[in-house]
Amino acid sequence: MKSNGISKLNKCGYGLFFGIALAVKMLLNMPFTCTDMTDPWGYLFYITEYSTIGFVPRALLGTVCGVFTDYISWKTIYIISLVAEILMIILAAFLFNKIMLNLPQGRLALFFFSCIFLLMADDLFYFFDTDHFGSIDVYFIIMTILAVAFAGNKKMRWLVPVLCTLCMMDYEGYVFAYMPLVGIVLLYYCFKEKSKSCIAVFALSCFAVIVSFLYFYAFFRQDMLNMVLCETPEEMTAVLSKHSDAEISWMIEQLYYFKGAGTFFVDGSWDIASTIIASNLVRLQCLPSALVMFGSALLVWIKVRKNEKEKNMKFIYLLCAIAPVASIPFQVFSEQMKYISYFAITQFILLVFFAAKEKGVRQRLEELESCIKLSPIAAAIPMCLLVFFRAIW
């Protein structure tokens, strides 16, 4: 009976390690009361609805919440956020454990990469802190993981365009954040299966994202005053305040729905511009931590691509290596540090995915595993660097 319990523990050990590590990160950074959620930019998504402000960006989550209640309290927002964070951890831990157990080779090396990922600066796990707890990015990560998982199933993959569209409806920045990752996975299956259904899903996903981006960013920015049902930010704040007791700032509505990001530098709003510039300087403290993860993965992609004989797979590995480049537009023109974390998160997910799918990646991981066993001190250098960066910043 005891040995049976140990056997079950061994079977879920990787997932427990990964899940507990993420849970500890969350507990060390999360708010413990609803009033500790300090960022109204984040919980605005839970309050805005299509019925109250129009068919505009960032209103899908609030509309879903509105189906169940007309009034969403600050406490309810906190509870929903906590549940979403826990679901994300469970989903990530479950899939990581499943992939690790099914790996015929390279487990130690992939475990090594997971340690590098988990040791990154807490700022890169921004979705756990008080400023971003329960932010829309949590749902992005959940739906991106599901999209990657569904892409390999011939029936479930038709849900991928739907998931991508839902993400775009709540935040057009998804196209720069996780859509490149989903696109690479879909393209991989197109090359491998050469099936019409897979190509159709890939094309439909790209089309859905492009149309969503054009509507919610290009067209909306040009005609936002006619698309928003409220005439002023103050009016919108008054309307939203009837549906929640959470603090709402009219300045946020002004920037989201009445001004637009494209006007920050041309209408005298230098406070916003200076904030973005200052934030880009401050976020450099997170960059070394992300670069350790990115650099470690990049070495794998370079080696695997060099040994790969298929041209299609060479192209896929090239895309994996340059995937973080997609988020550069938001790195430059956003005041938030969270976009740096896309570097590391996308690379880690891609590495785990291709380790499960491609023998060439596993062989490279096995070579790395041999190096780790021969020289564990040298292998510990990346993790020591991460600990060092965490200590000085």
Q: How confident is the model at residue 285 (pLDDT cuts 50, 70, 90)?
A: low
| The pLDDT of residue 267 | 41
Give the length of the chain.
393
97: tokens are 């454990």
- For the segment 262-270, the average pLDDT, to the nearest whole number, is 41
Sign of the torsion formed by the C-alpha atoms of 253, 254, 255 and 258:
positive
On whether the CB atoms of residues 215 and 177 are closer than 8 A, the answer is no
Kindly tell me if the per-residue pLDDT of 65 is higher than 80: yes
Radius of gyration of the chain, Cα coordinates, nearest whole angstrom: 22
* Residues 317, 308: Cα–Cα separation, whole Å: 9
Cβ neighbours for 374, distance < 8 A, ≥ 6 positions apart: none
| The pLDDT of residue 366 | 87
| The pLDDT of residue 270 | 42
- For the segment 113-133, the average pLDDT, to the nearest whole number, is 81
| The pLDDT of residue 341 | 79
Kindly tell me if the per-residue pLDDT of 261 is higher than 70: no
| Most trustworthy range by pLDDT among 111-120, 167-176, 247-256, 302-311 | 302-311
| The pLDDT of residue 225 | 54
* Residues 208, 167: Cα–Cα separation, whole Å: 11
| Most trustworthy range by pLDDT among 39-48, 97-106, 115-124, 366-375 | 97-106
Single-letter code of the amino acid located at 115? C
Average pLDDT, the chain: 80
Kindly tell me if the per-residue pLDDT of 3 is higher than 50: no
Q: Is 31 helix (H, G, I), strand (E, B) or coil?
A: coil
| The pLDDT of residue 255 | 58
On whether the CB atoms of residues 130 and 30 are closer than 8 A, the answer is yes
* Residues 210, 221: Cα–Cα separation, whole Å: 15
What is the rounded end-to-end Cα distance, in angstroms, of the chain? 48
| Most trustworthy range by pLDDT among 83-97, 247-261, 271-285 | 83-97
Kindly tell me if the per-residue pLDDT of 150 is higher than 80: yes
Measured at the CA of 378, the angle between CA 376 and CA 379, to 5 degrees, comes to 60
- CB-based contacts of 138-143 (< 8 A; 24+ apart in sequence): 138/81, 138/84, 138/85, 138/88, 139/61, 139/84, 139/167, 139/170, 140/167, 140/171, 140/174, 140/177, 140/178, 141/88, 141/92, 141/178, 141/345, 142/84, 142/87, 142/88, 142/91, 143/167
Give the C-alpha distances (Å, rounded to integers) separating 190 from 154, 201, 244.
Answer: 12, 9, 46
70: tokens are 């007309």
Single-letter code of the amino acid located at 249? S
On whether the CB atoms of residues 126 and 25 are closer than 8 A, the answer is no
Specify the range with the lowest mean pLDDT, choosing from 139-148, 269-278, 307-316, 360-369.
Answer: 269-278
Measured at the CA of 218, the angle between CA 215 and CA 219, to 5 degrees, comes to 55
Which ranges constitute the DSSP H helices of 228-325? Answer: 233-241, 250-253, 270-282, 287-307, 311-322
Q: Say what the pTM is.
A: 0.86
Kindly tell me if the per-residue pLDDT of 100 is higher than 50: yes
